[in-house]
Amino acid sequence: MGTDTFRRHARACVDAGVHCAFAQLKSSRQRSLFERVWRAARERSDLMRLPPTRRGEVIQLAVLQNLAAFGADFVRPPEEWPGAAGHPLRVVDSFARHLFGRYPTPRFLASAWFGGGALDRVERRRWFIAHARGERFRSLALPIAMTRQMEHVFLRTPDHLAIDPALRRAEVLGLGGTPELADAILATRLAEEFVDGERWRVALAWLVGCGDAVKAPELRRLVDFLGANLANIVLRGRTFASVMRLACEWHGLRANERAQWFRSWPRSPWAELVVRERPTPAQPRAAEWRLVELLDSSELVQEGRALRHCIATYVRACVEGRARIWSLRHRWSDELAARPVLTIEVRLATAEIVLVRGKLNARPTGWPLELVRQWAARDGLMIRQRAL
């Protein structure tokens, strides 16, 4: 593709994306706010001039939609923003500070403006606005109780961390844990799971007290064990090794139980989808998106745990041949494991996609949804309107 043709194609893609964004807005006031934010971003930054990949434009427009959705909270008009350039996080941080900020905010907090419209994402955007207005972060309605020391650590979080892992990291470091222990805990489900915060605070304080006895590779198994037994186990006075022995016994019993109810089923006639993304100036890491079929009950359980929904209850439908379950997964080039993003239910008899859901049953948006559409079009699958 020649340079001029490429530029025309890029402009056409962006125009189509903007038209789609406008179509999703219900009132003239919302459209007016989005147009003002979009024009300011286009004229005063390179946010809308990044390499025009389909995923790039979806992310950029989603950020602008998220900012415009809080137009009632603007303290300055978008037209007065002086502009910014460079990494998207830097640009969005500058724009968000201008729109909402009376006081400085740490740059990593701007990650709240990326992503879809799930309730937890919207709540984190409200945290950004409240902190930018001068409220102490520890005074907000957070999923954990934050001490002054934890707040100090949290507000100095490195830019590469998202808000939820930053909260957990601040908790561990605020309790006196080492950065190595914090990194190991962020590799478990506790990085984004905050249920039963008071009991987990006791468990994390115990882990910090174990010091050098903690073996980082075993933390994932330990966290799974504690998550199931937190209300019944007394950690005070126990050593790390003694609790790990209990954890190993528990995992052994669970393995025997799983062996008794384990079920599997044959592959469906559709092929996997693999999309690889090359590094760009905006995103220096290569990435891979892969749509894979889940073929046994243990895979459904793991998918349900990762995205915190009830897909594990679909075992019978899969065994009886009524449904097939697929998982859209994302992996950065420097990561070994892929992360589930969307779960897709396909009706086997009619070749229809009847359900697509993300974490906490969030509806699909942006580039992940576009990949599902591409897969459906390639393999001749129909998508029910209510599936989305």
pLDDT digits (tens, 9 = 90+) for 220-251: 999 999 998 888 888 999 999 999 999 998 88
Domain boundary among 205, 231, 261: 261
CA dihedral 148, 180, 304, 351 (to 10 degrees): 120
In a domain, 328, yes or no: yes
pTM here?
Answer: 0.69
Residue 86 lies in domain: 3-135
**Residue 291 and residue 235 in one domain:** no
**At residue 217, does pLDDT exceed 60?**
yes
**At residue 357, does pLDDT exceed 70?**
yes
In a domain, 74, yes or no: yes
**At residue 323, does pLDDT exceed 90?**
yes
* Residues of the chain by 3-state class (helix, strand, coil), percent to 5: 55, 10, 30
* The two structure tokens encoding residue 380: 């001749």
The residue with greater pLDDT, 292 or 14, is 292
pLDDT, residue 40, reads 93
Averaged over 336-356, what is the pLDDT?
92
Q: Give the chain's domain count.
A: 3
Classify each residue of 165-202 as buried b or exposed e, where b means 16 or more C-beta atoms within 10 Å of its C-beta.
bbbbbbbbbbbebeeebbebbbebebbbbbeeeeebee
Banded model confidence at residue 47, pLDDT cuts 50, 70, 90: confident
**At residue 87, does pLDDT exceed 70?**
yes
Domain boundary among 261, 289, 311: 261
The residue with greater pLDDT, 362 or 174, is 174
Averaged over 189-211, what is the pLDDT?
94
* The two structure tokens encoding residue 29: 């006031």
pLDDT, residue 94, reads 96
The residue with greater pLDDT, 53 or 202, is 202
Domain boundary among 202, 231, 261: 261
Out of 18-22, 86-90, 155-159, least confident range = 18-22
**Residue 7 and residue 131 in one domain:** yes
Out of 50-59, 61-70, 348-357, 379-388, least confident range = 50-59
pLDDT, residue 257, reads 63
